[in-house]
Amino acid sequence: MCGIVGYVGPQQAAPVLVEGLTRLEYRGYDSAGVAVLNPRSSANPSRVVRAQGRVRDLEAALPARLAGTTGIGHTRWATHGEPSERNAHPHTSADGRVHVVHNGIIDNFATLRSRLADDGVELTSDTDTEVVAHLVARELATGLSLEDAVRTAVGQIVGTYALAVLDTQTPERIVVARNGSPLLLGVGDGEMFVASDPAAIVRHTSQVVLLDDGDFATVTADGFHSFTDGEERTARAAVTIDLTVEELELDGHEHFMHKEIHEQPESVERMLTGRLDDRFGTAKLAGLNLEPRDLRRFERVKVLGCGSAYYVGQLGASMIEDLARIPADAEPASEFRYRNPIIEPSTLYVVVSQSGETADTLFAVREVQRKGGTVVGLVNAVGSSIAREVDGGVYLHAGPEVAVASTKALTHMSIGFALLALTLGRVHDLSFADGRRIIAGLRAIPGQIAEILAGEEALAAAAKELSTAPSLFFVGRVRGYPVAREGAQKFKEITYRHAEAYPTSELKHGPLALISPELPSVAIIPDDDLVERNITAAQEIRARGGAVVAITHPGVELGDAATSRIEVPRNEVELDPILLTIPTQLLGYHAAVALGEDVDRPRNLAKSVTVE
Ligand code: AGP
**CB environment 181-202: b (16+ within 10 A), e (fewer):** bbbbbbbbeebbbbbbbbbbbb
Cα-to-centroid distance, 490 and ligand 1 (Å)? 10
pLDDT at 29: 87
Which of 351, 384, 404, 406 most suits a substitution to test ligand 1, by most atoms within 8 Å of the C-beta? Answer: 406
Chain centroid to Cα 467, Å, comes to 26
What is the model's pTM? 0.86
Low-confidence ranges of the chain (pLDDT < 70): 231
* DSSP-derived 3-state class of residue 513: helix
- Confirm if 493 and 587 have CB atoms less than 8 A apart: no
- Report pLDDT digits (tens) over 575-604: 999 999 999 999 999 999 999 999 998 888
pLDDT at 231: 66
Decide the pairing of beta strands 207-210 and 184-187: antiparallel
- Confirm if 417 and 305 have CB atoms less than 8 A apart: no
What distances in angstroms separate CA 143 from CA 39, 116, 139, 140, 220, one per listed residue? 20, 19, 7, 5, 21
Going by alpha carbons, the residue nearest to atom 10 of ligand 1 is: 307
What are the DSSP calls for 460-486, one per residue? HHHHHHHHT-SEEEEEE-TTHHHHHHH
Q: Which DSSP helix (H) or strand (E) runs through 115? A: helix 109-118
Residues with CB under 6 A from ligand 1: 306-309, 353-355, 358, 361, 404-406, 493, 605, 608-609
- Report pLDDT digits (tens) over 547-582: 999 999 999 999 999 999 999 999 999 999 999 999
- Report pLDDT digits (tens) over 187-201: 999 999 999 999 999
Cα-to-centroid distance, 384 and ligand 1 (Å)? 15
Going by alpha carbons, the residue nearest to atom 6 of ligand 1 is: 307
**What is the set of active-site residues?**
2, 607
What are the DSSP calls for 41-93, one per residue? -SS-SEEEEEEES-HHHHHHHS-S----SEEEEEEE--SSS-SSTTTSSPEE-
- Confirm if 412 and 380 have CB atoms less than 8 A apart: yes
* DSSP-derived 3-state class of residue 28: coil
What are the DSSP calls for 527-543, one per residue? SSTTHHHHHHHHHHHHH
Q: Which DSSP helix (H) or strand (E) runs through 599? A: none
Cα-to-centroid distance, 309 and ligand 1 (Å)? 6
Which of 181, 336, 351, 358 most suits a substitution to test ligand 1, by most atoms within 8 Å of the C-beta? Answer: 358
In ligand 1, the atom with minimum distance to the C-alpha of 358 is 16
